[in-house]
Amino acid sequence: MQKLNIVGIPPTLNEVKRMHYMIQAKEKKRWEQLVRIEVKVQKLQPIDKPVIVTYRFHFKDERRRDPDGYAYSAKAIQDGLVKSGILSDDSFRYVKELRIAEGERRKVAGITIEMEEVA
């Protein structure tokens, strides 16, 4: 299993719906670029087998949050994983399952992306 840690959390679906479409595109591109940079810094290796991808969202507080709103946040991250060459593709052929999970409380909010190979 490989893990990628990212500081910060992308906008939720509700936040994106309130943005102008050009701002949405810029934000998605920014997150894709951030993923590509972190992949290099954290020295992840390409995965050519199918995977289960788990997104663990680490928040600073105990505020109530809906997991389905954060599922949208995973889109830009996953596209960044493909563009960086870590995942061959983000279709069902390569990504067998997506999981959205709550992580632990941290002083700085962020995401841990876990990529587990499956048979």
Number of H helices, E strands in the chain: 4, 4
Of the two residues 112 and 69, the one the predictor is more confident about is 112
Average pLDDT over residues 5-14: 88
Output the pLDDT for position 119.
76
Taking only the tens place, the pLDDT of each residue in 18-45 is 989 998 889 889 999 999 999 999 999 9
CATH number at 17 reads: 3.30.1330.70
What pTM was estimated for this model as a whole? 0.88
Provide the sign of the torsion angle of the four alpha carbons 72, 25, 43, 104, taken in this order: negative
What is the span of the domain harbouring residue 84? 2-117
Q: How far apart are CA 35 and CA 8, in angstroms?
A: 11
Taking only the tens place, the pLDDT of each residue in 62-106 is 888 888 888 888 888 999 999 999 999 999 999 999 999 999 899
One-letter amino acid at 9 equals I
The closest of 103, 92, 90, 86 to 37, measured between CA atoms, is 86
What's the number of domains the chain is made of? 1
Q: How far apart are CA 118 and CA 37, in angstroms?
A: 26
110 — pLDDT class (breaks 50, 70, 90):
very high
